[in-house]
């Protein structure tokens, strides 16, 4: 029998929570279109609306502000491709933000960041003031998927709104790992994805606050308040709601995960003082560490860990399995030879000391083998 695998890639996707699985199976046992007025349809509608309440509670939103989508990518695309005249963003954003922005008709304005990938506030004011006239959107992720770096979204949002800009934040990695409240963040749009917090893949949400509007994402029906046509994926929505509720109730457990991360990093520094922990001094998600072992490529490390039964990643897991240099680290100014050697270890509520210990055993072995033997 093969040895059990150790999963340390929670930022790519989290294992499905038991609560989500139970909710999905119960929904699959039902029948009925949520738009139908008969009893079966009303039961399906109740499942959708109960889940909407659970997702809204996770981020402090009103129930009416939550629009279900197919995931974070669709939500980001819906906002970024909404016909803005100008968009202010940084190169650290996820590709699902960068790509639609670059393909839009908007004038792109660069949001300055420091070497840790955190917004430079002095440069922000200048960028806002110097931007051309017209409708503007500032987009700033709440947490980076590769480095875990947290952004001062509330402060940035206040500055942007003072200049008349709308504000969007990709909170896909942050929700369920740190407290998220749309009112405190002062954003107009917030993107979520179920599978990052233990829900099913292929379902997410976009929070559209207050009186803000967007053109319909998909046309042809009245679903989601005419914002996204098409029969709702009831089972996936049920799983999302259950996962959101569980994540909200278990948020305090992330303190334990933070201690595991701290132990992992301290042991890495002890074993390999030459190792680099990306953005170590910045505020980060409690579960994420981005490591560089100079002289060893990310591809080699990912493969070696995989062969040892441990799943880690090289940056984002959204490029069809590609292992390559990170645009995030490049935007932060990291040298190409270091950016191409970075691996991401991401923990979750189910991670254990044993998981970290197994990682450290393999890391220690790899580090020893890369060093030339001493001459007798």
DSSP string, 111-162: PPB-TTS-B-HHHHHHHHHHSPSS-EEEE--SB-TTT-BBP-HHHHHHHHHH
Strand ranges, E, within the chain? 6-7, 66-69, 86-89, 107-110, 136-139, 166-170, 189-193, 204-208, 276-277, 288-292, 310-311, 342-346
CA-closest candidate to residue 214, choices 107, 93, 84:
84
CB 144 within 8 A of CB 92: yes
CB 110 within 8 A of CB 127: yes
The count of domains in the chain is 2
Per-residue model confidence (pLDDT) at position 315: 66
CB 92 within 8 A of CB 145: no
376 domain residue, yes or no: no
Q: Is the dihedral of CA 95, 100, 101, 103 positive or negative?
A: positive
Q: Which helix (H) or strand (E) holds 7?
A: strand 6-7
Per-residue model confidence (pLDDT) at position 211: 81
CA-closest candidate to residue 89, choices 185, 173, 196, 170:
170
231 domain residue, yes or no: yes
Q: Last residue of a domain, which of 249, 270, 293?
A: 249
Looking up residue 334, the CATH number of its domain turns out to be: 3.90.1150.10
- Tokens representing 250 are 């278990």
Whole-angstrom Cα distance, residue 30 to residue 40?
8
Residue indicated by tokens 């009893």: 39
Annotate 46-86 with DSSP letters as a single string. HHHHHHHHHHHHHHT--GGGEEEESSHHHHHHHHHTS--SE
CB 225 within 8 A of CB 67: yes
Q: Last residue of a domain, which of 249, 272, 290?
A: 249
Residue indicated by tokens 């009245």: 222
Q: Are residues 57 and 193 located together in one domain of the fold?
A: yes
Catalytic residue among 277, 282, 296, 318: 318
23 domain residue, yes or no: yes
Per-residue model confidence (pLDDT) at position 316: 53
Burial per residue of 40-58, b for 16 or more beta-carbon CB atoms within 10 angstroms, e otherwise: eeebbbebbeebbebbbbb
1 domain residue, yes or no: no
- Domain of 362, in residue numbers: 6-15+251-370
Q: Which helix (H) or strand (E) holds 45?
A: helix 39-59
- Tokens representing 103 are 């393909």
Q: Last residue of a domain, which of 233, 249, 265?
A: 249
CA dist 222 → 53, 70, 210, 274 (Å): 20, 17, 20, 58
115 domain residue, yes or no: yes
Annotated catalytic residue 249: no
Per-residue model confidence (pLDDT) at position 73: 98
pLDDT in tens, the chain (376 residues): 346 899 999 999 999 999 999 999 999 999 999 999 999 999 999 999 999 999 999 999 999 999 999 999 999 999 999 999 999 999 999 999 999 999 999 999 989 999 999 999 888 888 888 777 778 999 999 999 999 999 999 999 999 998 899 999 999 999 999 999 999 999 999 999 999 999 999 999 999 998 888 989 999 999 999 999 999 999 999 999 999 999 999 999 999 999 999 999 999 999 999 999 999 999 999 999 999 999 899 999 999 999 999 999 996 545 445 555 689 999 999 999 999 999 999 999 999 999 999 999 999 999 888 754 443 4
Looking up residue 92, the CATH number of its domain turns out to be: 3.40.640.10
375 domain residue, yes or no: no
Whole-angstrom Cα distance, residue 255 to residue 320?
32
Q: Are residues 216 and 265 located together in one domain of the fold?
A: no
Sheet containing 276-277, strands listed edge to edge, beginning at the edge strand earlier in sequence = 276-277, 288-292, 342-346
- Using a 10 angstrom Cβ sphere, with 0-12 exposed, 13-18 middle and 19 or more buried, the burial of residue 371 is exposed
Residue indicated by tokens 């089972």: 235
Whole-angstrom Cα distance, residue 365 to residue 376?
21
């Amino acid at each position: 029998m093969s040895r059990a695998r150790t999963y340390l890639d929670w930022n790519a996707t989290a294992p499905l929570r038991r609560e989500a699985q139970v909710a999905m199976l119960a929904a699959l046992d039902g029948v009925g279109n949520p738009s139908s007025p008969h009893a079966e349809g009303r039961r399906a509608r109740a499942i959708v609306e109960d889940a909407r309440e659970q997702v809204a509670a996770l981020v402090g939103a009103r129930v009416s502000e939550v629009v279900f989508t197919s995931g974070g990518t669709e939500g980001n695309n819906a906002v970024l491709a909404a016909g803005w005249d100008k968009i202010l963003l940084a190169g650290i954003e996820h590709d699902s933000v960068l790509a639609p922005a670059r393909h839009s008709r908007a004038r792109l304005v660069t949001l300055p960041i420091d070497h840790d990938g955190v917004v430079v506030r002095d440069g922000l004011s200048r960028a806002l003031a110097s931007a051309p006239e017209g409708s503007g959107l500032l987009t700033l992720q709440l947490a980076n998927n590769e480095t875990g770096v947290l952004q001062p979204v509330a402060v940035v949002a206040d500055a942007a709104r003072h200049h008349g800009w709308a504000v969007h934040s990709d909170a896909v990695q942050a929700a369920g790992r740190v407290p998220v409240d749309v009112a405190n963040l002062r954003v107009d749009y917030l993107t979520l994805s179920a599978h990052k917090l233990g829900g099913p893949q292929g379902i997410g949400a976009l929070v559209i606050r207050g009186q803000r509007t967007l053109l319909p994402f998909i046309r042809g029906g009245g679903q989601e308040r005419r914002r996204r046509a098409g029969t709702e994926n009831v089972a996936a929505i049920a799983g999302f709601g259950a996962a959101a509720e569980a994540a909200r109730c278990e948020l305090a457990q992330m303190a334990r995960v933070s201690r595991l991360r701290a132990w992992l990093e301290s042991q890495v520094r002890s074993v390999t003082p030459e190792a680099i922990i990306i953005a170590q001094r910045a505020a980060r998600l409690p579960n994420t560490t981005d490591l560089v072992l100079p002289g060893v490529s990310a591809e080699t490390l990912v493969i070696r860990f995989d062969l040892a039964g441990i799943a880690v990643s090289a940056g984002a897991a959204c490029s069809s399995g590609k292992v390559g240099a990170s645009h995030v680290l490049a935007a932060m100014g990291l040298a190409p030879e270091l950016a191409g050697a970075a691996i991401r270890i991401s923990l979750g509520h189910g991670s254990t000391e044993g998981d970290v210990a197994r990682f450290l055993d393999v890391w220690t072995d790899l580090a020893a083998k890369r060093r030339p033997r001493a001459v007798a």
